[in-house]
Amino acid sequence: MQAIPLNCHPSIPCELIRRFTVRTQRTSDGMLALDYAIEGDIAGLRIPSPCPARRADGLWQHTCFEAFLMHGEGYYEFNFAPSTEWAIYRFSAYREGMSVVPQTRPPKIALTLDAHRLELNTLIRLNDLPIELEGANLRLGVSAVIEEEGGRLSYWALMHPPGKPDFHHPDNFVLELDSTDNA
C-alpha cells in the first residue's frame, strides 16, 4: 500500500501537523483497510480518550477520521474516532437521503500514539453493506477533522473543492478501488 498525502483545507491551516498520509487496500475477501498516519506535534492535538467500541453520532465535531465510498449515485460515510467510536451512514445522492446503516459487526479500529506520531488503522467489512460488490469498481474519498487542544478544527482531504470544506462533494471521490487491489 502506498502512502497518499492528505491536504489541509487552505482556509484553516494546522501548523501542528507536519505530514498526514493514508494507505488504502480493498481485499478479495470484501475488506477495506484504511491506515491513517499523522506526524507532528501530537501533544497539541485533542485526541479523545479510548472507550469501548460503539456507534456514536457527531464524531466529526472533534478529531475524526473519515472515508466516503461511492457506489452508483449513492455513497457511504464512515466515521472513526481515536476513542474507537464509529458511525456509518448511507446517502442516496449528494447530501440527500441520509440514513444510519445498521451494522452487526462494527469496523475494527486500532490507535497507536506517541508524542510525534498518531496512527489510526481501520478495517471495514464491505460485504456487510447492502450493495453488490462482485466486480464493482468503487470510488473512495478519504478525509479527517483534526481538533487542536484549543478547540480549533482543521479539515484534511485528498482534494478540496473550491469554497468551504465539503467532504461529501463528488470531486473528493478521487481513488478508484479495484475489486481485489490497492487504491
Q: Which architecture does CATH list for 4-177?
A: Sandwich (2.60)
Q: How far apart are CA 150 and CA 138, in angstroms?
A: 37
How confident is the model over 5-41, as pLDDT tens digits? Answer: 999 999 999 999 999 999 999 888 889 999 999 999 9
Radius of gyration of the chain (CA): 15
Q: Is the dihedral of CA 97, 98, 103, 108 positive or negative?
A: positive
Quote the Cα angle for 114-183-20, to 5°. 30
Q: Kindly report the backbone phi and psi dihedral angles of residue 9, in degrees, each rounded to the nearest multiple of 5, phi listed first.
A: -60, 130
pTM of the model: 0.93
Helix (H, G, I), strand (E, B) or coil at 172: helix
Residue 105's pLDDT is what?
82
pLDDT band with cut points at 50, 70 and 90 for residue 72: confident
Instruction: Say if residues 124 and 31 touch (Cβ distance below 8 Å).
Output: yes
Residue 182's pLDDT is what?
45
99-103, 157-161, 170-174, 179-183: the lowest-pLDDT one: 179-183
Flag whether pLDDT at 170 surpasses 50: yes
Q: Is the dihedral of CA 76, 92, 5, 20 positive or negative?
A: negative
Summary mean pLDDT of the chain: 91
Instruction: Say if residues 107 and 122 touch (Cβ distance below 8 Å).
Output: yes
